[in-house]
């Protein structure tokens, strides 16, 4: 009887600990960091891409969190003679569905907004030159993912971009003219998923 009681207590504690990760009042902290260097044939220098977007959220109810990411994107394309830099804000809402004690599925709806500029890059030296224009990008994205919890406070996540819409505007620095582009589509590639780590407190 004592062994049965202890077993029930252990199972209850495990169930509580996994639910406690996404219960009302908990805090979610994490983010994404990316780095890529590519040497295009014929280019004198490598293209360089870097981004860092830390994020934080709060569970306003069990399994449902709202929050935002704030970060910076840097994309120097010597092969295309341009440098794009932007500051990004991405408010989001995320809902979790428990699949087992250590696995959860989640869906995230976010509204990424970035504001930056485009500069000229010398294709021989790689030096950055004059500003060509300013950029604005506003979108909506619905992304699915899975979270694995090796411990009570750490979630290892795998997600894909999913369904998204983006409005991209470039304003020419010399003339003030604007060029706009809209894109909408599904980009749920399983070949290049995103890997991240989130901390629950």
By residue count, the chain amounts to 201
Strand partners of residue 171: 134, 178
Are the CB atoms for 93 and 108 separated by under 8 Å? yes
Query: In this predicted structure, what is the pLDDT of residue 41?
Result: 75
Residues 6+ apart with CB under 8 A from 102: 18, 148, 149, 150
pLDDT, block means (10 residues), the chain with 201 residues:
38 42 92 80 80 92 96 89 93 94 92 94 83 94 92 87 89 91 74 76 88
Q: How far is CA 148 from CA 21, 69, 104, 142, in A?
A: 11, 21, 7, 20
Round to whole Å and give the CA distance between 179 and 138. Answer: 14
Residue-level pLDDT at 13: 36
Give this prediction's pTM: 0.76
So what's the pLDDT on residue 109? Answer: 95
* C-alpha span between 201 and 196 (Å, rounded): 17
* Cβ pair 135, 169 in contact under 8 A: yes
Give dist(CA 160, CA 183) in Å, integer.
17
Contact 121, 127 (CB under 8 A): yes
Largest Cα–Cα separation, the chain: 83
Q: H or E segment at 93?
A: strand 82-98
């Amino acid at each position: 009887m004592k062994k049965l009681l202890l077993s029930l207590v252990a199972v209850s504690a495990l169930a509580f600990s996994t639910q406690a990760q996404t219960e009302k009042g908990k805090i979610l902290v994490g983010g994404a960091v990316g780095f890529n260097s590519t040497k295009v044939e014929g280019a004198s220098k490598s293209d360089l891409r870097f981004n860092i977007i830390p994020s934080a959220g709060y569970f306003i109810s069990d399994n449902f969190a709202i929050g935002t990411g704030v970060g910076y994107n840097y994309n120097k394309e010597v092969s295309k003679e341009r440098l794009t830099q932007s500051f990004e804000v991405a408010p989001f809402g995320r809902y979790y569905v428990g699949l087992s004690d250590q696995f959860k599925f989640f869906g995230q709806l976010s509204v990424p907004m970035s504001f930056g500029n485009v500069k000229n890059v010398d294709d021989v030296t790689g030096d950055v030159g004059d500003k060509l224009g300013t950029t604005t990008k506003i979108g909506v994205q619905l992304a699915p993912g899975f979270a694995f919890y090796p411990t009570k406070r750490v979630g290892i996540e795998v997600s894909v971009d999913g369904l998204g819409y983006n409005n991209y505007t470039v304003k020419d620095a010399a003339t003030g003219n604007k060029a706009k582009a809209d894109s909408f589509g599904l980009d749920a590639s399983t070949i290049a998923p995103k890997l991240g780590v989130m901390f629950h407190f």
